Amino acid sequence: MLIGLTGGIASGKSTVANMFRQLGIPVASADEISRSLTVPNQPTWQAIVDRFGDDILQADQQIDRAALRQLVFSDPEAKHDLETILHPLIKEALEDWHRQQTSLFQVLEIPLLFETNSQTMVDRILVVDCSPELQKSRLKERDNLSDDEVNAILAQQYSRHQRLAQADDIIVNDADIEHLQAQIEQLVATYRQLDTASKSL
């Protein structure tokens, strides 16, 4: 059984993914795959530089992700071009990873699950949710963004309502880490039961 883990930016997806890992659940991250694809002088890195220019590079030739993010969130055509380069390769890598797994269930952490139509890859959708106020506060603090920059990023994503409407399961990340851990442990038990039941049919 394959679980698609998603949620709005700064909702706590990576924290949840790491908690699954700590419980022995295999997790693949679309963001980690993206970073591995875009190391300097790799074909994907070159394609991005060819499209967006040297201004998105740091002194060590690594892609300046903050600069690239600001560019694509202010230019729909640039956003489309970046997604055209990256998303098919990320999806292929996630599928390859899944084929190699043998555990009862696995988790794919895909921030843009709905935006990239990747929900077709998974059996269940798990959404990490928090209040909009907390989300904005976390995002401003984490990435040192202005209110306008935060609002521009959120406007490009699926709305909270859209995500929750399509979720099979929801983790509420508004409280402390112990509350979050308890929810994940309960979900792991549920997923194991569901996977075992599906194999007995």
* pLDDT tens per residue across all 201 residues of the chain: 999 999 999 999 999 999 999 999 999 999 999 999 999 999 999 999 999 999 999 999 999 998 998 888 888 899 999 999 999 999 999 999 999 998 889 999 999 999 999 999 999 999 999 999 999 999 999 988 899 989 988 888 899 999 999 999 999 999 999 999 999 999 999 999 998 877 665
Per-residue pLDDT, 132:
94
What is d(CA 170, CA 177) in angstroms, rounded to the nearest whole number?
A: 16
What is d(CA 68, CA 74) in angstroms, rounded to the nearest whole number?
A: 10
Per-residue pLDDT, 200:
64
Domain range summary for the chain, segments of one domain joined by + = 1-26+105-201, 32-100
Task: Print the SS3 string covering 54-94.
Answer: HHHECCCCCECHHHHHHHHHHCHHHHHHHHHHHHHHHHHHH
What is d(CA 36, CA 199) in angstroms, rounded to the nearest whole number?
A: 34
SS3 37: helix
Per-residue pLDDT, 45:
97
Per-residue pLDDT, 70:
83
Where do the H-state alpha helices sit in the chain? 13-22, 30-37, 43-52, 65-74, 76-99, 132-143, 147-156, 160-166, 177-200
In CATH terms, 1-26+105-201 corresponds, of 3.30.420.60, 3.40.50.300, 2.60.40.10, 3.10.20.30, to 3.40.50.300
Per-residue pLDDT, 86:
97
